[in-house]
Every structure is written in C-alpha cells, then in structure tokens.
Structure 1
C-alpha cells in the first residue's frame, strides 16, 4: 500500500505562482518594452550578474495583481563578489512603488549593510503608486539606503523614465549612470503640466542632456547592455564594503616598475602650452582602460579609477586643456564627492596638479567658487586614506591646497617636476596686481622658476623628480604606504562639516 504524495498539489500551486511572476507584465507588454531596444528587468539582472548566480526574494509580493510588485529583488555575484540588486519592472504597473515593493527595497538595503556587500538599483519606474497606502509608518526604503552610504558601494542605473520617490536613490548613491533612453525627474511631464503649466517632453525634463550637467547622474552609456557592463567595471575597483580593503590584481607585465620617458613629450615645459592630462594617465598607470567618473561635468578636473601596480587607486588630476586647469565650481564639487567616495572605501588617492588656481571672475564668484573650493579642500584634508601628490608644472594658491600640495598633510609621498611653479599667484598676475616695473617683473619670473628648488630646500615636498621617474616613485610610495594597513578596515568616521 502506497501513501499519496500530499506535496503535489501544494508544489503545483507554488509553481503556478512562480511562473506568473516570471511573466512580469505579460507577453505583450514585455515585447513592447523590448521593442524599444531595452532589456526587461529580469534580463537586466541576468546581464549584470555572473551567469547563474541570481537568488531572488520577495517573488510573491504583489500576489496575482502585480508580478513581484513591480520590482525584481535578490542577490548574486559580480566578478565573484556578492551584491544585492533590485530592478524596477516597467512592464508591471509602470514599475510603480506600493507598500510591498517599498518593503522589498528596504530589505535590499538592509541586507546590503548587514552582509557588507554592494547595492545596485536599476531604475525605470513611475514613483509611488497612487493608492495612498504608502503613507504612515510603513518602511521607507530611503532610510535604509541612506544607511548604506559610506558603508557599502551604492550604484544606480537609470534605464528609462524614473520619477518621484524611486528616482531619489540616484542622488543618494555613490555612482549613478544612465542609458541614452534614461530620464530622471522629481515628477514627470503630466504632473509638471498640471502643476506649472509647462508643456515639456520627458527627455527635455530629465534626459542625459539635463541629468549630466546637473550632476544628478554621473555617467552615460548608449544602451542597457553598455550601462550594465560599466557597472561591473566600476565595482571592480572597490572592496565589497568599508570593512575590507580594495582587491589587488596579480602582477603581470603591466603592473611592474617602468620608466615613463613619454612624459617628456606629453608635458610641455612651457606653462603656457596645453596638453591632455588623459595622456599622462595612460602612461603612468597600469593600462589605458582606466574608468573616468563624470567626464562631461567639471571638466577642468579629471576624476578616474585606475590601477597602479595592480592596486586600485583614485586619481584627481587637473586638465590643462580646459581653462588652463583652473578649478571652477563644478570641478571642485565633482572632486569633493569623488574624494569622499574613494576615502570611504580605502582607495589611495593620487593627485596630479597642474593648475593656475581657482577660477577667478565675477561669474565664478556668483557660482560660489570659494565655497566649492572649500568643500574640496575639506574633503581632501579630512581623507584618512593614503594620499600621493605630484606637481607637474604649476599649482598656485588655493588651487594647490585643494590638490593636496600642503606640507605634512598626511601624504605618503609628495613630488614635483623641476621648474614647477607655485606660490600665492603666478609672476604675471603678481606683476600686474602690484604694477611692477619691468626689472621687478623679470625678477618675479626668475623667482617663480626657482620656486620648486626653494620649496624642496624647505621640505615643501619630498623630492624633485624627472618626468621619466613619475610612475616608479608613485608605485614605490604606494607600496610602502600600503604597509600601514596593519589593522582591519573600518568605515571612515568623519567629524568635519562639509561646506
């Protein structure tokens, strides 16, 4: 006599419910979505994660009315490292947020901090669902997401229209990137029309041409696939959390010491002539595939993630091709945020200075250049991570201080090229300001050219170096400085008030 398997009916019911969830908004809506050249929420997660590693939770939230309650959530691996990931499903009720999906979002961030792993959010949603049920003492996902800040890497992708509450995770994140079809705004065009009378398209309201200059989003890539690949690249430079140090890549022919004679041709000795600082990065670091953050905003400064001797590093470099390297408001704001992110996750910061100071002028002052410069200065002086500095040709006034050219400011190494000019201001500006006669102006220029030797004589920096020695002195200083990591990593405790 056999006993009937009483599990069959129960498991069949579970299978039916799971199959319904996998359909998302149904075949027609999924096909329409993909017909726009986009991936659906589940395909996005599949592209983002290492194959076969996704483990979903909250599948039954939303019941039969809304598959997974319009957001797919779970964990997986990126480059072998665990991550938490959430993808809004636009095919289901426009990816809108209800109490159940809000709880799923909260749970994602809660688990990211608890398990000390990165959090990735893939956005394409209409914000809160107009039910009214989200008011009151329901879990608010932004509370948990804010708790992630400085503890685990947070990355957001905007892959379609993202509005209201859901969109707020992008500016909360350390790094945000959007596709060319992405749009992000406080409220979409219909609400704007009712509220203000303005008739505007979603692209003009919050597309890449708006979100990038505003700084709400850092980078842009063409397609969903490109965005997801860039997220994988970005996270490869970071540890899983602030409780661990960045990964080190095995040594090969690109990671060892080598001279950099190419810099003699790239960096003009004449301070007036321009050059592309990106070419310097190509030569100094392990390869040319370094990752630039916010390349289209604050262009007088380059902020990049690179490798030196196999070690991930953050690079803050003046760009002489833009405003002669003068630091404007957007550049300083960009650099301040980048420095704080790098410091939070223990990435060494390498400053490559070549600037005539903060950008002067009435427009710059109206934009608050001093406040932004102070923000960058506080961020870099408060940074607890390893810092290295090279002055290539010039660094004047406050523009030198925000680039970490301050004696005994905790740097693991400070260097300059011979003939590098520095001081409160350039000789030409000082001559004009003081109405100097020709002979005095010439004397000021001579003093300017000798400034690097004068500073070296007083330990203004550790050593004057030849351009050919740049990579090797940075690499040796980095390797020595990393020996200071003799205690377990911990989240950075900041006591400063950022201007």
Structure 2
C-alpha cells in the first residue's frame, strides 16, 4: 500500500499554486516594473530558507471524474524564512490573483501569519500590494448579503506592535485595509514611482469630485510628507535592504536585548572638528547629522522619517557596537523648534525605543515650540504635551547632550528631569525660559517705555544677562551636571552605552509599553 498518487496530487497542486495568477497576469506585473510575490520572497530571504504554510490554499476546479483540471491559489503567501541568518515570519500579497484583494482563504492566512509571529517571537515582514481587505463590492453577489465591516485579525496586528518588530513594505498600489496594515508597523517603506498608498483609490475618490492620479493621491512624496510612510527607496531591492538594516538594531521580540554589533570603531575616538561646528552667531544653523556621524560608530546611523516633522531627527545607531535610539534637533529646520508633526514623530519614536528597550541618546538644540497662528491651529501644544509625556513615561536609559539651545516647555523635553540626569553640555549651551533676544523686551517692557534711552538700557540689560546666562554660571549651581569638550562626546556616549547594556531587558516593575501606530 502506497500513497504515491496522493503525493503526486500534492506536488501537482503545489506546482500550480507557484504559477500564481497565470502567465498573462505575471506578464502584466512584470510590464508594470514590479516583481511577483515569489520573486520578492527570493529577494528578501536567504536562499532556500523559506518554509511556506498553506502552500495549496486556493480554489480547485475538477472535472466530472473528480480529476484536478485547474487551480487558483489564494492571493496571500506566508511562512517562515531567514533573513541574514535570522528567523522571520513573512506574509506577502499576490497582486496577480484578484489584485491582492481578499478571498475566502486570505483572511485566515493573514491572521495565522500575524499570530505565528507573535506567539513564536519572530520579527514580521509584510510585503503588501493590493487592498488586503474585502475586495470589490461584487462580493455582495457572491455572498448573497452585505456584511457589517470588521477588520479580521486586527487584534493580532495591534498585539504584535508590542510583541515583535514589524516591518511593512508597500510595493505597489495599497488601499483600504492594506494601507492600514502598512502603517500599523514600526517601519513602513515605499518604492518611489511604483507604490502608492491611500484610504481609497482614485476611482472611489472621483465619487467625491476629486480627479487625481494614483501618484497625486498617495505616492511616496505624499505619504512621506504626511508621516504615513517612514522611507521610500528607488527599488524593491533597496527597500528590502533598508528593512534588513532596520531590523539589525532590534531584538527578535520585546523583552529581549537587541544584539551587540561588531566592534569596529575606537570607543574613545575624538573629533577636534566638533569644537568649531557650532556658529557663535545663534541665528545660524549647522549640520546635526555631521555630529551624529562623528560620535556614533562609523557608518551605523540609520535615519528614519526624514521628510516628516523634519525639525527633529530620529535614527537608530550603534555606540561601541551597542544599538541605541538617537533623537536629535535639526537646527536647519525651524531652528530645531518643535512643530505638531515633530512632536508626533518624537512620541512614536520614544514608544519604539521603550518597546524594544533601546537606550536613548538625545542631542538637544530646541528653541521651544514653533509659535504662531498656524502652530495653534495644528494643536502644537497638545501634540507637544503628548511627546513630553512619552519622554517622562519612558523607563529606558537616557543620555542627553545639550548642544546649544533649550528653552521653554519643549526645551524641557530633553529628558525626564526626575530621573538620574545623565546629561552633558557643550560650551555652546544656551538655555532658559525664553531666549534673551526677545525675552529682555518682554520682561522689561514697562521700564523700557519709561526710559530716556530705551536702546542703551536694553543693551545694558542684555549684556548683564548674557554674562549670567553663561553655561559656566549654570554649572556652578549644578543646574547642568557637566560641561565637556565637544571633541570628547563619543567617549562619554560609548561609556553610557556600555553602562546601559545590562538594562536593555524589561525589569519586572516596569509596565509594558502601549505602542500605537
């Protein structure tokens, strides 16, 4: 007795499933410049490492004699594989089968992919193309009724944000539930000119009187500026390389320590050029990214979200091989002032650091919140207060480098001042409740108005206050813990990373972080 016939049937079905949507649909996918789902899995994962689950899920057509005549696979492929030697869970849409929309099988496959990642503690990679939701309104004809909307498996999508690293790659047009899945991740990447992301596509949007192309509605430039996507790259290969780089800084699951990378850079390396990088004229900016590249391990700075809330820089990096979360001001945008968007960016990034226990290094040059009518209409103070709360709720080790300005409520967001203040200042430090440039006029308005020589009085007051505002005066009171030579910044940061290393797993008395997209 043998089961050779059944095994032959299995192999036949698997071969048909690997044919995806058939030659015509595959040719159309190729003509659009996009890889098919099998090519994507081959590109993403280590050769031969993919173990598919649900390989023959789909719809079979049989003849009168019961023999298999044709087979249409489900348009979701998932399983386990390795990426740079690391086990990951992968779920991928097949656009060549019903445009990636849901069918009777895709819902359960997506749910199982999410559940597998969460329960086994595997980083999750989503390769998204299509709606990934209920498909067309034509489904009403198939079902014989219309259903009340629900998001299948959303409990697992939400739970995974607090369990494992989640990366979503939008690799073509992505709409509806597919777009919601894309942004419900720790890192969302698009492909320039190839992927678009929207709540509803152009045909639906035309119903409200807007006639736009896919690119105008939800292209990479649109979603990067909106903060819905973190990065966009020129090709699928580049997007996947970014996903690998991002994951290299994170542990497999929340609660574990992220691995230390190779130690290839001198931990006490100094950089005398940093002594002259800050202009004496406070009206001028400078290159904060040059500072980050100088003090972090060579080639390790991985910036995310450059095009949203761009007065703040968020990046992952290494210090003496140890992975850290880097938060930094960008003085070339609003002078480093916090906008509503910048505050949202800070909140999400601090939540990421807290979820995966990454020590934070904060490079501060914050003149305060951006002010004016536009800032008020954007709800800047509410978003800013949320960011401040995220910083004060964080329990991960935190080190602050005060580069230049720190004023007002936003300036106080440099760290939670009630914790141990692991903080250093450069001699260029300039802080207070308000900058002297506008603060003197505000504080002494009545006296200046009554003065016989308001200009001379203002100059005298400003000179006296400049002397008192010296960072050395602050250090005398121990209101700033230590002033350092900028050239030696790397050595104090690598020391911080070493001391923080044992604290990168969650202590029992620390509550679980509630991460939100």
Q: Does 1:117 align with 2:129?
A: no
| Structure 2 CA distance for partners of 1:495 and 1:29, relative to 1, 3 Å | closer
Partner secondary structure for residue 33 of structure 1: helix
Equivalent of 1:463, from 463, 470, 482?
482
| Structure 2 CA distance for partners of 1:432 and 1:68, relative to 1, 3 Å | farther
CA-to-aligned-CA distance 1:381-437 (integer Å, 9 cap, x gap): 111111110101111111222221x534345x2110124111101111111212353
Q: What pairs with 1:19-418 in structure 2 (closer than 5 Å)?
A: 19-64=15-60, 67-126=72-131, 127-130=133-136, 131-132=139-140, 135=147, 140-180=152-192, 181-193=194-206, 195-252=207-264, 254-404=265-415, 406-411=416-421, 413-418=422-427
Q: Does 1:440 align with 2:440?
A: no
Residue segments in structure 2 that go unaligned for 5+ positions in a row: 62-70, 449-456
| Structure 2 CA distance for partners of 1:484 and 1:70, relative to 1, 3 Å | closer
148-157 vs 254-263, greater mean Cα deviation: 254-263
Partner secondary structure for residue 56 of structure 1: strand
Is the 1:382–1:494 contact (alpha carbons within 8 Å) kept by the matching residues of 2? no
CA-to-aligned-CA distance 1:98-141 (integer Å, 9 cap, x gap): 23111111111111110111111111113322325594799812
Is the 2:196–2:215 contact (alpha carbons within 8 Å) kept by the matching residues of 1? yes
Tell me, in whole angstroms, the C-alpha distance in 2 between the residues paired with 1:489 and 1:289.
31
Is the 1:60–1:67 contact (alpha carbons within 8 Å) kept by the matching residues of 2? no
Partner secondary structure for residue 211 of structure 2: coil
CA-to-aligned-CA distance 1:38-61 (integer Å, 9 cap, x gap): 111111111111222111101222
Residue segments in structure 1 that go unaligned for 5+ positions in a row: none
Tell me, in whole angstroms, the C-alpha distance in 2 between the residues paired with 1:414 and 1:214.
33
Tell me, in whole angstroms, the C-alpha distance in 1 between the residues paired with 2:286 and 2:150.
55
| Structure 2 CA distance for partners of 1:138 and 1:351, relative to 1, 3 Å | closer
CA-to-aligned-CA distance 1:214-234 (integer Å, 9 cap, x gap): 211111111111111111111
CA-to-aligned-CA distance 1:241-268 (integer Å, 9 cap, x gap): 112111101322x152211212113223
Tell me, in whole angstroms, the C-alpha distance in 1 between the residues paired with 2:312 and 2:149.
44
Displacement of 1:489 after TM fit? 8.5
Tell me, in whole angstroms, the C-alpha distance in 1 between the residues paired with 2:505 and 2:212.
56
Tell me, in whole angstroms, the C-alpha distance in 1 between the residues paired with 2:370 and 2:506.
41
| Structure 2 CA distance for partners of 1:243 and 1:481, relative to 1, 3 Å | closer
Partner secondary structure for residue 74 of structure 2: helix
Tell me, in whole angstroms, the C-alpha distance in 2 between the residues paired with 1:114 and 1:258.
42
Displacement of 1:213 after TM fit? 1.5
Larger radius of gyration: 2
Tell me, in whole angstroms, the C-alpha distance in 1 between the residues paired with 2:499 and 2:366.
28
* 2:499 alignment partner in structure 1: 480
Tell me, in whole angstroms, the C-alpha distance in 2 between the residues paired with 1:267 and 1:43.
48
Is the 2:358–2:504 contact (alpha carbons within 8 Å) kept by the matching residues of 1? no
Displacement of 1:494 after TM fit? 4.2
* 2:436 alignment partner in structure 1: 427
Partner secondary structure for residue 99 of structure 1: coil
Tell me, in whole angstroms, the C-alpha distance in 2 between the residues paired with 1:388 and 1:284.
13
Partner secondary structure for residue 59 of structure 2: coil
Normalized against structure 2, the TM-score is what? 0.89
Normalized against structure 1, the TM-score is what? 0.92
Is the 1:150–1:492 contact (alpha carbons within 8 Å) kept by the matching residues of 2? no
Partner secondary structure for residue 272 of structure 2: coil
* 1:453 alignment partner in structure 2: 472
Tell me, in whole angstroms, the C-alpha distance in 2 between the residues paired with 1:136 and 1:17.
34
Is the 2:256–2:504 contact (alpha carbons within 8 Å) kept by the matching residues of 1? no
Tell me, in whole angstroms, the C-alpha distance in 1 between the residues paired with 2:334 and 2:506.
43
CA-to-aligned-CA distance 1:431-487 (integer Å, 9 cap, x gap): 121235322122222222x1x223323333431111011010111122123244587
Give the superposed CA RMSD.
Answer: 2.2
